[in-house]
């Protein structure tokens, strides 16, 4: 399901900042002194050889290193000092951009399995609301996910995927509240409005339900490289630790093709996306059609 951009405010602020730097602005005579990161000898070893990285100490995946945090704070202080004389102009540019945006914009409705799905914005709010109407665009609106509610309490929020089962009863969403594209997947009962307690952590925002809606297919990321490297299937409501169907996500385009397994005829879609492992991944024994006449189409049709 198409997910609209949910970072309008951040993008606009970044664009305004670029406008400030690219314009003909007068820089203050007494410029603040920028912080300088210390260099510390460090050798990074990889399968491709070794390289020296004197700033490797700035990497802190846990965001807890006090020296690194102090340096970032110094960078922020420097930025604020440099930009202080231009706050009024920055706000003016921002307001002009906002004035040209349609505050209550909405996407074009898409018909799927008896529902019209769409996203819309409300005036003054930053994140989209995902909704649907059953049978007709004149039917009552059913809100699936309100991005503004989900973002509450977080400094950063992105809803990167929303996939609904064929029967329209369940929805899986992929969210990032950190900004590192390490998405957590949650499953919502669309009848009751309640989320299941299970959370699939550190996955790609590419999801697909099986036809019966009992299994969710997803790709888990490597904790070090943050690249998707294993395909899993998760039984709705089952323990997250009990995963099945673990296969290498070989092929650069597999993660983009995993979406929509349930939308093609049995065998055809699975074969194109997951090759010989498709049958087992979808919770059944592999069928002859899954093998595509004996040839493994790892990346799908070109």
Domain architecture of the chain: domains with CATH: 8-99 (no CATH), 154-291 (2.130.10.120)
Asked whether the predicted pLDDT for residue 21 surpasses 90, the reply is: no
Phi and psi at residue 17, in whole multiples of 5°? -65, -40
Residue 173's CB: how many other CB atoms inside 10 A? 26
When pLDDT is cut at 50, 70 and 90, the band that residue 65 belongs to is: very high
Residue labelled with tokens 């995946």:
61
What pLDDT is recorded for position 100? 93
How far is residue 112 from each of residues 7, 13, 132, 136, measured CA to CA in Å?
A: 26, 35, 10, 12
CA 39, 42, 45, 50 torsion-angle sign:
positive
Query: Distance between CA atoms of 159 and 302, rounded to whole angstroms?
Result: 29
- Its pTM stands at 0.68
- Let me know the angle formed at the C-alpha of 117 by 112 and 119, rounded to the nearest 5 degrees: 155
Q: What SS3 string covers 90-128?
A: HHHHHHHHHHCCCCCCECCCEEECCEEEEEECCCCCCCC
What pLDDT is recorded for position 222? 87
Q: Is residue 185 within 8 Å of 207, Cβ to Cβ?
A: yes
Asked whether the predicted pLDDT for residue 68 surpasses 80, the reply is: yes
Per-residue pLDDT, averaged over 105-118, amounts to 96
């Amino acid at each position: 399901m198409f997910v609209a951009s949910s970072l309008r405010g951040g993008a606009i602020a970044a664009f305004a900042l670029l406008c400030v730097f690219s314009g003909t602005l007068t820089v203050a005579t007494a410029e603040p002194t920028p912080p300088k990161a210390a260099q510390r000898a460090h050798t990074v070893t990889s399968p491709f050889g070794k390289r020296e990285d004197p700033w490797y100490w700035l990497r802190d995946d846990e965001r807890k290193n006090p020296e690194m945090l102090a340096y970032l704070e110094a960078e922020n202080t420097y930025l604020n000092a440099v930009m202080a004389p231009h706050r009024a102009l920055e706000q003016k540019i921002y307001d002009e951009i906002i004035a040209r945006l349609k505050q209550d914009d909405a996407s074009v409705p898409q018909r799927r399995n008896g529902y019209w799905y769409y996203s819309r914005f409300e005036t003054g709010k930053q994140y989209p609301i995902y909704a649907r109407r059953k049978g007709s665009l004149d039917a009552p609106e059913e809100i699936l996910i309100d991005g503004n509610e989900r973002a509450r309490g977080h400094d950063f929020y992105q809803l990167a995927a929303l996939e609904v089962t064929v029967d329209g009863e369940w929805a899986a969403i992929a969210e990032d509240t950190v900004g590192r594209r390490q998405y957590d997947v949650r499953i919502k009962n669309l009848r009751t409005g309640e989320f299941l307690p299970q959370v699939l952590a550190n996955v790609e925002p590419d999801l697909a339900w099986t036809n019966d809606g009992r299994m969710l297919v997803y790709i888990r990321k490597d904790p070090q490289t943050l690249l998707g490297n294993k395909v899993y299937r998760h039984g709705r409501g089952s323990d997250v630790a009990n995963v099945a169907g673990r296969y290498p996500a070989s092929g650069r385009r597999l993660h983009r093709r995993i979406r929509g397994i349930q939308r093609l005829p049995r065998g055809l879609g699975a074969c194109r996306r997951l090759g010989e492992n498709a049958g087992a991944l979808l919770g059944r024994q592999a069928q002859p059609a899954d093998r595509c006449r004996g040839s493994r189409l790892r990346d799908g049709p070109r």
